[in-house]
């Protein structure tokens, strides 16, 4: 998944911390997109400017979900996001019997869910 940003440095500082809590790190970049993951062959999240060089915008109804290993990590990521001035979209809690999640918007307005299934 790729999330657009209009301020790459701000977004990288945000995601270095948020994704670091989930065991991911910046793996490589091509000068426009910065790819985060846990290692080769694993799912990655990219942050960068749109290919068409127009302004990045967040989509209504679009959300990235990040998997956490446990409830404590969901809570830690959410708290970290709030400390980094993310916008609260829903504090950690059970949404369904098998879904524990928290929601926030990153500095560019992209909606993120961090969750534990099961």
State residue 58's pLDDT score: 86
Name the burial class of residue 43, with classes exposed (0-12), middle (13-18) and buried (19+) by CB atoms within 10 angstroms of its CB. Answer: exposed
Task: Compute the distance between CA of residue 2 and CA of residue 46 in angstroms, rounded to an integer.
Answer: 4
Domain boundaries along the sequence of the chain: 2-51+62-117
Fold of 2-51+62-117: 2,3-Dihydroxybiphenyl 1,2-Dioxygenase; domain 1 (3.10.180)
Cα–Cα nearest to 43, from 64, 59, 70, 62: 64
- pLDDT of amino acid 11: 97
52-111 tens-digit pLDDT: 989 999 888 889 999 999 999 999 999 999 999 999 999 999 999 999 999 999 999 999
Residue 94's alpha-carbon distances to 47, 80, 116, in angstroms, are 29, 19, 10
Q: What is the mean pLDDT of residues 36-63?
A: 91
Q: What is the pLDDT of residue 52?
A: 92
pLDDT for 25 beyond 90: yes
Q: How far apart are the C-alpha atoms of 26 and 79, rounded to whole Å?
A: 21
Residue 33 banded pLDDT, cuts 50, 70, 90: very high
Q: How confident is the model at residue 41 (pLDDT cuts 50, 70, 90)?
A: confident
How far apart (Å, rounded) are the C-alpha atoms in residues 102 and 78? 6
Full-model pTM: 0.90
Rounded CA-CA distance 65/56 in Å is 19
């Amino acid at each position: 998944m790729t999330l657009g940003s209009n301020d790459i440095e701000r977004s990288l500082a945000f995601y270095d911390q948020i994704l670091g809590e989930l065991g991911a790190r910046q793996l490589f970049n091509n000068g426009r997109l910065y790819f985060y993951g846990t290692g080769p062959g694993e799912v990655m999240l990219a942050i960068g400017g749109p290919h068409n060089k127009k302004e990045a915008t967040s989509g209504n109804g679009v959300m990235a979900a990040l998997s956490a290993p446990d409830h404590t990590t969901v809570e830690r990521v959410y708290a970290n996001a709030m400390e980094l001035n993310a916008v609260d979209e829903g504090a950690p809690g059970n949404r369904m019997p098998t879904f524990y999640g928290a929601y926030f918007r990153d500095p560019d307005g992209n909606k993120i869910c961090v969750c534990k299934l099961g």
